[in-house]
Every structure is written in C-alpha cells, then in structure tokens.
C-alpha cells in the first residue's frame, strides 16, 4: 500500500503516489530554477505542466493513480530541465541522451515525525537503517538506565537532526541505499565530465584513448578503494562513536556518581572524585571543580561522537554553530577551572611549623630505659579498606561516615638537653596566610599513650575534622637524656626516618634493639 | 566532436521555420505541433518546444486563443500573425538559398 495525494496539474485533478509526487515536484522545481524568474519562464512552466497533465491522462487510461514509473516516463518525454533550458539559451552544449536516472534520491537521516512516539528520532533511525524502529526504542530505553545517557543522546539528536517536513525530505529519508554501484556511478560521472572537458579543448584522439584506458583502470581501482574506504570509514565511525560514548559515560559516572576513574588508583576502595576533591578544595561545592572538568573532558568526546555520527548518517546541520557553541563552552570551562585552581593554589603558598614539647615524667627516677612502640593495633580498622583511599603518605577515610584525613608521621631519635625523656612534635602545614597555615598545623594531632616506661604512638596523625589537606606533616622526635636508654620496637620501622642525627643506620637496623645515648651518638647495648 | 550533437544543432536551426510553416497551413494546439514535429524527428524531447513557442509569441510572430476541448481543460491554439507570415516568408527564402548554396558547395567538393 502506498500513500497517494490529490493534485491539480494543468487544470486537471490527479491521484498521485507520494513518491511519484516528490519526483514530479522536484522536476518542476528544477525546471523553474533552470529557466529563471521571468514571466516568460513562468509561462513555459505552465505550458509544460499542461502538457504533462495531458500525457498523464493518456498514460492512465482507466487507472486511478499516477505511479513513479509514469512520472519518470513523462519526464523522459518532456526532457530534463537542463535540456529545455539550453534550448532556451539557444546554445547547444550537453548531450541529448543525458539519462533521466537522477530521480533517485540519496538517503539522508531525518526525524520521522509521522511515526514518532516522542520526536521521531528512533523511527528516523529505523528508516535510515531499514530496521524496525522498535530496536532503537528499546536501545534508548535501556540506555536511559545508564544514568540517563539514553535521554541525553535522544535530546542531542532531537536538536541536531532535522524533521522530515517536505515530501522531498520524506523521500530522502527512505531514499536509495549508499552502496558500491552508487559509488561507481559517481566515479563514472566524474570521468565523463573530465572527458567532456577534454573534448572541448580538442584533446581528442590519442589522449582520449589513453585517458579512457586510464579511466577504466581508475574506476576498477576506485571500486576496490572505495569499498575499502567505505568499510574503514564505517569502522572508524563506529570506533569514534563507541569510544566517545564509553569515555563520556565513564567520565559522567566518575565525576558525578561513582568512582570508576578513581578505581585506577592503587588501593582504591570506593571513594568518589568529589570526595577526593573535597579533601583539598575549600570552595563550597566540589561541583565548581567537577562541572568544569566534566565539560573540559566531555566536549571533545561529544565532538568525537558527533564526527562519528556524521560519518555514518550525513545529516544536515549547521556545523559552524555547533563548533562555536562547543568551543565557547569548552573555553569557558577551562577558564573557570583555571580560576578555581589559581585561587586554590594560593592556599599552599605559606608554610608554617608549630612545635609542641612534652616532657615524659617517669614514675620513678631509677627507670633508665624507655620502650618505644607504635600502636599498630590502630591500623586494624583500616584492614577492611572500605571507603578509604591510600594516597602516598596519606589516607582518606570515609568509613565512619565523614571525612578523616590521616598521614604518616616521621620519627627521629634525638638527645634531650634535660634529665627527662621528651617528645617534640613539629607540626607543619601550608596555608594562604601565616595564620591559616598555623591554624591548620595546630589541627594536626598524634595520639600517644605513656604508661610506666612505655611510650606508644599512633601510627598515623589525624587532621582536625573539617580541615582540608594542606600538605600537613609531622616530625616526631623522641629525646633521650644522656646516659639513658631506649628500646625501639619493630612496629616503628615504617615510621623511622632514614636520616637520623644520632645514628648512622637504617630503620631496620634500629628496631628490636636497645640503645644508649652516649655523647653525640646512640650506642647499641648488647 | 559528436555527430549527434551536430545533427541536433542543424535541426535546431530550422525548428523555428518548421513551427511557423506548420501553423501557416492551419491553426494548431501544442500537442498537434509536437506530434507533427516528433513524427518528422525534428525534436527529441518535447519540453524544448515550449520556450521556443513562448519566444515566438512574445516576438509577435504567433498569437494564441483558448478553445474548449471535448475532454479536459481548454487548450491553447496557436495562430500565425501577419508579422509571423512575413517572417516565415523571409525564413523560407533564406532556407532555399541555404540549400542551394550548400548543395553547390557539396557538388563542387
């Protein structure tokens, strides 16, 4: 079943099939274009329409509806617009036998609003690929659950792809497949054109024969190459689209929903990029960072997807508008990001150190040995590793529901100037101003336990809740008085600095041993 | 060079003469003209005739009237004007001379 339209042509009424009508409309449009915009031309067109109606009446006989074959026939009888127009110019150029093959149309991608459920994107895709639109509808519906990606793609296509409005566009929507014979036809046309040009310049004879021989070879090569190029183009396009979409999806999920990208970081365990950014950036919302970053990454990805779509679909669109919009948005995002980073960088400009000295009072003066250990039981809570990120010397922990930043202390053994053991905590931090750096340094705490002759320090320091990461650092120095001893437990090995002032030895050589402070050196007690 | 092209050129030159001379015998509507010219293989595609007719009409060589047809809409009937008749006479004598000259040349060669 085909749809037919009622038209009036040259004073007669006809039923004409939709596709036939499109061809006829195209023909008359083209005729008008060729003849120009004069009253004389209008008269000629009217005469020709009249003649066409006569010919249709003849052809129809008893039948009801004009078909596309009839239209092509009539056009053949009347002549192509360029032949008619050439006659009018009273100068003969191109051939009389120019074929009327060109009434077939190239297929283009349009939205099919007639069979639409929303805006006709899926049914347009269906028309383009000659597949049931239901396939695309299901695809969109499935992608909808991929964080609404389906909706985004749908919306982009809705905006970018024009609706098939005229009959001509509806024809193009269902038009001829792009295939090898098409390609060959185009090549042949090109070669014919060159041939004609050569004829014009009287380069006939030998050159022509050589040329046509070459031409045939070119056509053969062209056919093969064309096939390869076509296949490559499709492969590239599909690669573009899929890579673009996958990266886009990953970026979206990483920045706004989960932690796909962060999971590349070793020892990741479920912290999102937003949370990570939140450890350092002190702007109200991490969206100030994630949204510009998203645009900076996503716009080129969208461009890649777009290029891929263009390679397959060749839909009409104003590229310049798309380009300018995309580029503007990208530059804007980069600018915002640069501003945010610039202001953030200022909060690292000044470094301050706060020094705490604690005197360790022994229960009685006769004790001359201190057992120094790290409270590694504290590390147990990290073992399940949930919602926790280990970055270099720092740990970001969300396991208790809120952000806690922890870092690894550096431990030294020094010499006390008094008779008592002392611990010196040098807490360091950066900040935008001296005050801020100092406040942030003050926020560092290193829990420890001291009982009998045991000193047990936490294996990590903790930032005050709500404090941002400002490259905080803590140096712990245990000061041993002259003539007193310290036993360094093996649990301290990871925290001991390898640059000790009182011992030319590595951490692994220091642990599990008893040391005596004697003069400027620590001496091992056997 | 293409022999079909040259032939088409030759036909085209005398097409005006043919139209005028068909109309000199009797008034005709366009389809009559087309059928006669097609029969004589003077035209290949019909569309080419219309611009020519319009030009001749605008030059005052032809005029037309609308006449009811037994079936379908009214038809355009073309008539030769006195000016057209004069023009035809000149073309005809020109044509005779041309044939003579051409034949003379051909025989000499």
- The CATH number covering residue B24 comes to 1.10.10.10
DSSP assignment letter at A256: I
Using CA atoms, how far residue A218 sits from A198, A327, A335, in Å, is 17, 41, 51
Of A198 and A224, the structure prediction assigns the larger pLDDT to: A224
Query: Which residues are CB-neighbours of A28 under 8 A, at least 6 positions away?
Result: A45, A49
Nearest to A288 by CA among A342, A349, A350, A348: A342
Q: How confident is the model at residue B97 (pLDDT cuts 50, 70, 90)?
A: very high
CA dihedral A454, A455, A459, A462 (to 10 degrees): 140
Nearest to B75 by CA among B45, B34, B36: B34
DSSP assignment letter at A176: B
The strand pairing partners of A369, in sequence order, are A485
**What is the C-alpha separation between A294 and A261, in angstroms, rounded?**
13
Q: Given this model, what pLDDT does residue A97 score?
A: 36
- Are A389 and A442 a contacting pair, CB within 8 Å? no
A80 in reach of chain B (CB within 8 A): yes
- The two beta strands, A513-518 and A485-488, are antiparallel
Structure tokens at A208: 């022509």
Summarised one tens digit per residue, pLDDT across range B53-90 is 888 898 899 998 888 877 777 888 899 999 999 999 99
B55 in reach of chain A (CB within 8 A): yes
Global pTM reads 0.45
Q: Given this model, what pLDDT does residue B82 score?
A: 92
* Chain B, nearest residue to A47 by Cα: B50
B88 in reach of chain A (CB within 8 A): no
Q: Given this model, what pLDDT does residue A102 score?
A: 42
Does the pLDDT at position A146 exceed 60?
A: yes
DSSP assignment letter at A255: I
Provide the number of structural domains found in chain B: 1
Query: Which residues are CB-neighbours of A40 under 8 A, at least 6 positions away?
Result: B51, B54, B55, B58
Degrees to nearest 5, angle at CA A143 with A140 and A144: 85
* Chain B, nearest residue to A203 by Cα: B1
Return the residue matching tokens 């036998």.
A97
Burial call A23-38: b when 16+ CB within 10 Å, e when fewer: bbbbbbeebeebbeee
| Mean pLDDT on A411-440 | 90
Cβ separation B48–A87 shorter than 8 A: yes
Domain that holds residue B77: 3-108
- Are A298 and A250 a contacting pair, CB within 8 Å? no
**What is the C-alpha separation between B4 and A518, in angstroms, rounded?**
120
Cβ separation A80–B45 shorter than 8 A: yes
Structure tokens at A115: 């069979």
- Are B20 and B84 a contacting pair, CB within 8 Å? yes
| Mean pLDDT on B22-38 | 88
Among A residues 56-75, those touching chain B with beta carbons less than 8 Å apart? 57
- Closest approach of B92 to chain A, Cα-based (Å): 20
Does the pLDDT at position A341 exceed 50?
A: yes
ipTM of the modeled complex? 0.84
Lowest mean pLDDT among A135-144, A169-178, A180-189, A452-461: A180-189
Which of A31, A36, A88 is the best substitution to test chain B (most B C-beta atoms within 10 A)? A88
């Amino acid at each position: 079943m085909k749809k037919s339209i009622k038209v009036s042509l040259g004073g007669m009424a006809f039923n004409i099939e939709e596709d036939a009508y499109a061809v006829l409309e195209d023909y008359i449009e083209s005729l008008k274009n060729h003849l120009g915009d004069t009253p004389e031309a209008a008269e000629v067109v009217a005469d020709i329409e009249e003649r066409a109606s006569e010919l249709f009446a003849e052809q129809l006989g008893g039948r009801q509806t004009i078909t596309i074959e009839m239209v092509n026939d009539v056009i053949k009888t009347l002549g192509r617009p360029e032949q008619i127009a050439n006659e009018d110019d009273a100068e003969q150029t191109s051939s009389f036998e120019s074929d009327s093959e060109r009434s077939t149309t190239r297929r283009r991608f349009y939205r099919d609003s007639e069979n639409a459920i929303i805006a006709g994107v899926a049914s347009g895709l269906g028309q383009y690929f000659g597949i049931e639109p239901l396939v695309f509808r299901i695809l969109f519906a499935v992608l909808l659950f991929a964080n609404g990606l389906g909706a985004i793609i749908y919306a982009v296509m809705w905006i970018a792809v024009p609706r098939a409005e005229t009959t001509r566009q509806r024809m193009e929507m269902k038009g001829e497949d792009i295939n090898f014979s098409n390609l060959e036809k185009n090549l042949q046309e090109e070669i014919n054109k060159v041939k004609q040009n050569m004829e014009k310049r009287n380069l006939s004879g030998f050159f022509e024969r050589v040329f046509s021989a070459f031409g045939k070879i070119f056509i053969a090569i062209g056919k093969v190459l064309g096939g390869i190029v076509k296949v490559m183009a499709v492969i590239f396009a599909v690669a573009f689209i899929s890579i673009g979409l996958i990266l886009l999806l990953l970026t979206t999920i990483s920045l706004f929903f989960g932690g796909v990208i962060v999971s590349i970081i070793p020892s990741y365990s479920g912290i999102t990029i937003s949370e990570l950014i939140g450890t350092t950036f002190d702007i109200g919302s991490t969206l100030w960072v994630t949204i510009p970053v998203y645009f900076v990454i996503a716009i080129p990805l969208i461009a890649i997807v777009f290029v891929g779509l263009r390679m397959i679909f060749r839909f009409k669109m104003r590229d310049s508008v798309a380009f300018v919009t995309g580029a503007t948005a990208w530059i804007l995002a980069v600018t915002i990001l640069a501003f945010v980073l610039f202001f953030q960088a200022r909060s690292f400009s000044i470094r301050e150190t706060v020094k705490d000295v604690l005197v360790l009072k022994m229960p009685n003066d006769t004790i001359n040995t201190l057992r120094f250990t790290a409270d590694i039981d504290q590390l147990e809570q990290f073992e399940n590793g949930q919602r926790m990120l280990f970055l270099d010397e720092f740990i970001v922990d969300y396991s208790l529901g809120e952000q806690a930043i922890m870092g690894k202390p550096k431990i030294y053994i020094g010499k006390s100037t008094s008779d008592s053991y002392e611990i010196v905590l040098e807490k360091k931090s950066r900040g935008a101003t001296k005050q801020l750096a100092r406040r942030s340094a003050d926020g560092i705490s290193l829990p420890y336990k001291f009982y009998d002759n045991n000193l047990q320090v936490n294996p990590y320091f903790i930032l005050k809740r709500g404090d941002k990461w400002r490259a905080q650092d803590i140096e712990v120095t245990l000061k041993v008085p002259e003539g007193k001893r310290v036993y360094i437990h093996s649990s301290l090995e990871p925290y001991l600095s390898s640059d000790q002032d009182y011992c030319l030895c590595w951490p692994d050589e220091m642990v599990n041993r008893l040391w005596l402070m004697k003069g400027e050196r620590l001496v091992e007690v056997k | 060079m293409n022999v079909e092209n040259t032939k088409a050129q030759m036909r085209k030159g005398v097409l005006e003469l043919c139209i005028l001379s068909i109309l000199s015998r009797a008034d005709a509507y366009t389809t009559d003209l087309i059928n006669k010219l097609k029969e004589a293989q003077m035209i290949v595609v019909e569309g080419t005739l219309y611009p020519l007719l319009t030009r001749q009409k605008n030059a005052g060589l032809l005029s037309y009237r609308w006449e009811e047809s037994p079936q379908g809409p009214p038809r355009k009937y073309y008539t030769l004007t006195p000016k057209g008749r004069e023009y035809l006479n000149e073309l005809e004598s020109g044509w005779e001379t041309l044939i003579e000259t051409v034949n003379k040349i051909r025989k000499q060669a």
